[in-house]
Amino acid sequence: MHWRVRPDVLRICGDFEFRPVLIVRHPLDVLISVLHFCTFEPATRHWLNGESGDETAIYGKDPGDAAFAAYATGPRAAALLAVSVEWMRRGAPWVRFEDLVARPEIELAAFLKQLPATPVRPLAEVIDANTLEKSRPTANNQHFWQGQPGIWTRLIGKELAARIQRAHADVFQSLGYGIGEAGTPAPEEIRRLWSTIA
């Protein structure tokens, strides 16, 4: 969901006995995901009720485009990236996307103990039923895309990664992510790769 921690949201959670949980992800992977997704899903403009704008400026762009750099360092990206940090600070249970991808059954089991919750089906069965291949046909907006951590390292160079990190320093620090893996892909390589995966 894309809801900030607000009194009305907390009231809804309380009324329905709903407990938010989080999957946190590297902010640069999140921004690459937004860049891809918004081209296929115009309803992103409703995220956070349109707080600080929308994704219109980056529709159809690639990660090397100046419009993406402006968006990724701007107020709309700041608002979207802040959501996980706000919920973490409220004590919402969370798990890292990267860990879930690397060790799904182990990480899900540990996460369920943290809640605590008991699965109604064996975890291996749940994981198998929700693979990317099986999930993709359920969405017509490419919601299930790459599903792999670190794709940003091939699409965002060191200079832009550093600019984005400075713009959202609290998010990077709070979530425990850095940019040490950043490379120096040439603009033409970014465009070529994006054209093959987007």
- At residue 2, the pLDDT reads 80
For the full predicted model, state whether its pTM sits above 0.95: no
- At residue 1, the pLDDT reads 67
Q: How far apart are CA 162 and CA 156, in angstroms?
A: 10
CATH architecture of 7-197: 3-Layer(aba) Sandwich (3.40)
Q: Record the tokens describing residue 180, joined without a space.
A: 């040490």
Distance of CA 24 to the CA centre of its chain: 7
Mean pLDDT of the chain: 93
Mean pLDDT of 25-39: 96
Mean pLDDT of 86-91: 95
Q: pLDDT grade, residue 116 (50/70/90)?
A: confident
Distances from the Cα of 56 to the Cαs of 51, 126, 140, 165, 184, in angstroms? 13, 36, 20, 23, 27
- At residue 95, the pLDDT reads 95
In percent, how much of the chain has pLDDT > 90?
Answer: 82
Please state which of the ranges 9-18, 83-92, 131-140 shows the lowest mean pLDDT: 131-140
For residues 150 and 33, the answer to whether their CB atoms sit within 8 Å is no
Domain boundaries in the chain? 7-197
- DSSP calls for 22-70: EEE--HHHHHHHHHHHHHH-GGGGGGGGGTT--SGGGTT--TTSHHHHH
Q: pLDDT grade, residue 98 (50/70/90)?
A: very high
Q: pLDDT grade, residue 139 (50/70/90)?
A: confident
